[in-house]
Chain A
Amino acid sequence: MSDRLAVRKTYKLYLGGAFPRSESGRTYEVHDTRGHFLANAAWASRKDGRDAVVAARSAFGKWSGATAYNRGQVLYRVAEVMEGRAAQFTEEVAAGEGLSTAKARAAVDAAIDRWVWYAGWTDKLAAVLGSTNPVAGPYFGFSVPEPTGVVAVLAPQRSSLLGLVSVLAPVLAAGNTAVVVTSKERPLPAITLGEVLATSDVPGGVVNLLTGDAAEIGPWLAEHADVDAIDLAGAPAPLAMELERSAAGTIKRVLRTPAEEPDWTADPGLSRLRPFLETKSVWHPIGV
């Protein structure tokens, strides 16, 4: 061990491709599972939430309009860059979730592999979820899956990295942009993930990561007219019901959360892709 004094990181938000502090100026203390101080995290406000929605909406056209091949490569790049910082993620996950180094490393590995799994989906969704429609008339009928738009994601509270990646990656793979409220008690891996995203060719604004309280920001996102869908993964039951009710006001697509936080190592299938995809059916004329 050298006696060099470590340079500690200031954890800020990841918003519109930049790393600002909360506009509110608020921070809160983050501790490990034994109560030792780890860092001060930015405590995002509802205004930060609204700014994040603007950033996500601005980024939607470019991200949803990118070719599926391009999106796949960008998501794969996220896995590549994460792999290089696996040790840092392992340390943060171990401290934040109270895991042994080996278990934390396994969670990090699973998170990286999850990006790889979703990177491979981008150019297969149209084939698997789309169709040609043999309509009874002189039309070439076909249906294509398209991204829903801006998705608000309340990330899981317990699984700070694997859980986060498991809910975020499908939103991106489907071509949506995201406003994420991270785990409140365990926000640090999310901001490190933001650094990975910022250096992986993910365009600014496609992912916005807000550290703070889902109960504080969630209601504003649930009723925001420019948010198209909400994933309630990290909302406890009473809050989840309130948010679902509030999301009804603008007919948002709502991905409900099970009573218990699921086992994020399980094969996700299409369960987190379908809710954030629309189907467009097209009738193209046939004739000479």
Chain B
Amino acid sequence: MTSLFEYAPAPESRSIVDIRPSYGLFVDGEFVDGTGTPLKTVNPATEEVLSEVATGSEEDVDRAVRAARRAFVKTWGPMRPADRGKYLFRIARLLQERAREFAVLETLDNGKPIRESRDVDVPLAAAHFFYHAGWADKLEHAGLGPAPRPLGVAGQVIPWNFPLLMLAWKVAPALATGNTVVLKPAETTPLTALLFAEICQQADLPPGVVNIVTGAGETGRAVISHPDVDKVAFTGSTEVGRSIARAVAGTEKRLTLELGGKAANIVFDDAPIDQAVEGIVRGIFFNQGHVCCAGSRLLVQESVHDEVVASLQRRIGTLRVGDPMDKNTDLGAINSAEQLARIRELAAFGETEGATCWQPEGELPDRGFWFKPTVFTDVSPAHRIARDEVFGPVLSVMTFRTPDEAVAKANNTTYGLSAGIWSEKGSRILKVTDQLRAGVVWANTFNEFDPTSPFGGYKQSGYGREGGRQGLAAYLSSGDQK
């Protein structure tokens, strides 16, 4: 892509990671063959096949659940809480020790820029284990009653956008609260979860505490519908979330869902514009926009609209799209051909419905899955690009005149995961924050995450929280909570 600045390539070496030609399932502490048809995982930046990964059948899932149940009853459940915590501290440390390896593998399998996997995904994953490790022997202080109890076996299904980080968000709180886990990674990004299995082995985690069963939707269905699973946790699309909620209905299983979003990023006329532009870019182009809480609807106060859009386009013109392994890259590859098709379809709706499309100059690589950072102006709230989650680097810009109008437009969505506010006025930030129906609100920043900060949605963005003291509730039962 042409750029204001010329950069020499600065590729990260992939030699640090040793990808095996094939992987089995991780069940009861060891790798075993799966009985389903294996799937191939590809590097979305090159379409190169990275490895062949086993697919868990219903029977494999059953083996994993039985292993998890045994571990819950025999080792992990009865273990001294402080010792459970120590295992989690070990895992956090091992993740830090092998951080570069995880970052490279994540970028190869997912397509995200190495800068992000190195600086965000992997450090945050380690932080989640470190944070939850400390909870393991302090649960009676978590405000969930004097003697909160683990639920048993947790069946967890995670998405492809932050493969290792979502694993950490699921596994760390489950283990800290004394549950055992059967985790199903996403079909297109199984490799860091399988490397995590090696970490479990290095940490001498008792067999069966963590089981990783790779596969596609069928495998996920087997996990969530297994009768001996006590708790289901899912992160992914609202559509799949609905089907999971339906499947769990009428059972005793506890359920938390972290689903889609269509976040408003609201820029008031008193905002620091340059800082806001950086935040808008971070909000929508971080991780190629494959972020459930992405700031995909930009609401700009009318008086600064032209200035913001011009500044934004200038900034986007300097973003580098390309080789995710290059340390200078800002936008990597779209994770799969399927996702690329979905982004193209919705972006095409933007144009046919009358919005104005803008993309920066420049060429995209010949191979792999790519989509340029895209800005739609003249968007109406009725347009599909203003309503549907694109899950790609596509921003829809709308305007407002008064704070009330901004709030009304921001809340005019079936989702409610996140929102952003840009203003130099603290009182305005807090007032608007109070009125937004969203689970996370960022002021003068966007897409910040921390294990101490509970994360999750309002409305059809799901229920339950991950992180913080509140997140523990999803994995515990106490006297006042069934």
- Is B455 touching A281 in the complex (CB atoms < 8 A)? yes
Given contacts A131-B468, A249-B242, A280-B438, whether A141 and B452 have CB atoms under 8 Å apart is yes
Distance of A250 Cα from B443 Cα, bound (Å) = 29
A172 to B460, CA, bound (A): 22
Cross-chain contact A129 with B470 (CB below 8 angstroms): yes
Whether B439 contacts A133 by the Cβ 8 Å rule is no
Q: Is the CB of B480 within 8 A of A248?
A: no
Identify the stretch in A84-92, A187-195, A266-274 within 8 Å (CB) of chain B at 4 or more residues: A266-274
Among B127, B414, B453, B479, point to the contact of A143 (Cβ < 8 A): B453
Q: Are A141 and B453 in contact (CB under 8 A)?
A: yes
Closest to A256 in B: B482
> In the docked arrangement, what's the CA distance between A143 and B243, Å?
29
User: Contact: A278 with B458, CB < 8 Å?
Assistant: yes
Report if A278-B241 is in contact (Cβ < 8 Å); known contacts: A136-B127, A251-B459, A268-B480: no
**Is the beta-carbon distance between B250 and A281 smaller than 8 angstroms?**
no
Query: Which of A231-288 touch B at CB < 8 Å?
Result: 240-241, 244-245, 247-251, 253-254, 256, 258, 268-271, 274, 278-285
Q: Which residues of A contact B469 (CB under 8 A)?
A: 131
Q: Are A251 and B257 CB-contacts (below 8 A) given A136-B127, A283-B442, A283-B448? A: yes
Q: In the complex, are the beta carbons of A279 and B479 less than 8 A apart?
A: no
Name which residue of chain A comes closest to B433, CB basis: A282
- The secondary structure that dominates the A interface is mixed
Smallest CB-CB separation from B469: which chain A residue? Answer: A131
A1 within 8 A of B: no
> What 0/1 pattern do residues 229 to 248 of B give for CB contact below 8 A with A?
00000000010011101100
Could you jot down 28 A-B contacts, CB within 8 Å? A131-B469, A133-B468, A136-B450, A137-B448, A137-B450, A141-B452, A143-B454, A225-B414, A241-B250, A248-B242, A248-B243, A248-B249, A251-B241, A251-B242, A251-B245, A258-B482, A269-B145, A271-B481, A271-B482, A274-B473, A278-B458, A280-B439, A281-B454, A283-B442, A283-B445, A283-B453, A284-B429, A284-B443
19 new A-B contacts at CB < 8 Å, known A137-B450, A149-B459: A133-B452, A133-B454, A141-B453, A143-B470, A244-B249, A245-B249, A245-B250, A251-B257, A251-B461, A251-B463, A271-B480, A271-B482, A279-B454, A279-B456, A279-B470, A280-B438, A280-B458, A282-B440, A283-B443
Using a CB–CB cutoff of 8 Å, the interface residues on chain A facing chain B are 128-129, 131, 133-137, 139, 141, 143, 148-149, 225, 228, 240-241, 244-245, 247-251, 253-254, 256, 258, 268-271, 274, 278-285
